[in-house]
Amino acid sequence: MCLGIPGKVVDVEEGPLRLGRVAFGDVVKEVCLAFVPAARPGDYVVVHAGSAIEVIDEEKALRVFEAFRIMEGP
């Protein structure tokens, strides 16, 4: 129920609902972007029940991944 799906913002239509299109792989869906006022095309957002709940910090995401890799050893 609380799992969100990460997707990439394609475009944004400003308005009270701040609707936009978000790409989940090949599937593009209309999503409410009102709760992520800073999200711009190209940003990754996590979408839950038709609303984006937050923007993913890509740099931090890559850093976590790097930490996983370091533990893997040479």
Partner 1 sequence: MRFVDEYRNAAAARPWIEAIRALVTRPWAIMEVCGGQTHSIVRFGIDELLPPEIRLIHGPGCPVCVTPVELVDKAVAIASRPEVIFCSFGDMLRVPGSASDLLEVKSRGGDVRIVYSPLDALKVAGDNPGRKVVFFAVGFETTAPANAMAVAEARRRGLGNFSVLVSHVLVPPALEAVLSSPQRQVDGLLAAGHVCAIMGTGEYAPLARRHRVPIVVTAFEPLDLLQGIHMVVKQLEEGRHEVENQYDRLVRPEGNLPARELIREVFQVKDRAWRGIGVIPMSGLGLREAYAAFDAERIFDVEGVGGPESPDCRSGLVLQGIIRPQECPAFGSPCTPDHPLGATMVSNEGACAAYYRYRRHTPA
Binding site for partner 1 (CB under 8 A): 1-4, 6-8, 16-17, 32, 34-37, 44, 46, 48-51, 53-54, 56-58, 60-62, 64-65, 67-69, 71-73
* Enclosing H/E stretch for 43: none
Residue 42 zone, left/alpha/beta (φ > 0; ψ -120 to 50; rest): left
Closest contact distance (angstroms) between CB of 40 and partner 1 is: 16
Closest contact distance (angstroms) between CB of 4 and partner 1 is: 5
Helix (H, G, I), strand (E, B) or coil at 1: coil
Q: What token pair was written down for 58?
A: 């890509």
Closest contact distance (angstroms) between CB of 11 and partner 1 is: 18
